[in-house]
Amino acid sequence: MSNTSSSSSNRVVVPEAKEAMDKFKMEIADELGVPLTNGYNGNLTSYQNGSVGGYMVKKMIEEQEKKRPGRFAVCIGFLFCFTMLELPYVHLTKLVFLMIFQYFMVLYTWTDLEQRVIFDRMLIPFAVIGLISIPLLDRVLTDHLMAAAVGGLVFLALAVLTKGGIGGGDIKLVAALGLWLGSDMLMTVVIAGIVLGGMAALIMLATGKRKKGDYFAYGPYFTISALLFTLL
């Protein structure tokens, strides 16, 4: 029983992704001159290991930024044009923050779907701007801080209970969304995201694109839900 559980928890969810990441890691190590092997690497220093990991993240971000401009600009341009239609009815300050929010939602959706990760360097500015927006938009500070704290803690608990079924990026994303949306809207967005994500997961299972037990990113469905609510 315990052996079965152990082997299940250590199973590679997406073998192709692991192979690609291993190849990428070896390429980076070779570029940095670090003698990394596919086997035992206990002889390497913490600095050498850290430099490989850090440079991998840097390369991933750079690659994402190269891919983004064309498709990303079209999507953002469409959203901004649609939002500008509300200009006569919305205060300019609110409109500016709305566009910033939409920009980050598209950015996170794109990044999470393509790389299955939301980088801290993308989340921190979003959270800070969300915090700044609270007094400028005459919102209740305690409600938004509570939404961020409770949302983050609930998803942290779910991540522990599901043994990593929910990623750290999703936890931080929900907390940051709490700063922007407040408790009521955050709950609505999370529920809508779970429903959308559940439907997508069922479709992927039915079409064979995912297998039972595979990792599934809910982050994009939270951001898509939040984005849809800004357009309503």
**Domain limits of the chain?**
1-67, 86-231
For residue 217 the two structure tokens come to 């990113």
pLDDT of residue 8: 41
Q: What average pLDDT does this structure show over 20-32?
A: 73
Residue with tokens 């794109």: 110
pTM beyond 0.85: no
> Contact 155/174 with Cβ under 8 angstroms?
yes
Angle at 165 between CA 201 and CA 46, to 5 degrees: 130
Residue 218 has what pLDDT?
77
One-letter amino acid of 57: V
Give the sign of the dihedral formed by CA 53, CA 55, CA 56, CA 60.
Answer: positive
Confidence at residue 3, expressed as pLDDT on a 0 to 100 scale: 45
Segment among 31-35, 87-91, 138-142, 195-199 with least mean pLDDT:
87-91
Nearest CA among 208, 167, 174 for reference residue 193: 174
Distance, CA of 122 to CA of 13 (rounded, Å): 26
Distances (CA, A) of 112 to 22, 217, 224: 20, 8, 11
Confidence check: pLDDT of 11 > 50: no
pLDDT band at residue 175 using 50, 70 and 90 as cut-offs: very high
Q: Is the Cα torsion angle 182, 185, 189, 194 positive or negative in sign?
A: positive
Range with lowest mean pLDDT among 36-45, 59-68, 191-200: 59-68
Q: Is the pLDDT confidence value at 38 over 90?
A: no
CA pair distance 110, 90, nearest whole angstrom: 28
The pLDDT score that the predictor gives to residue 119 is: 80
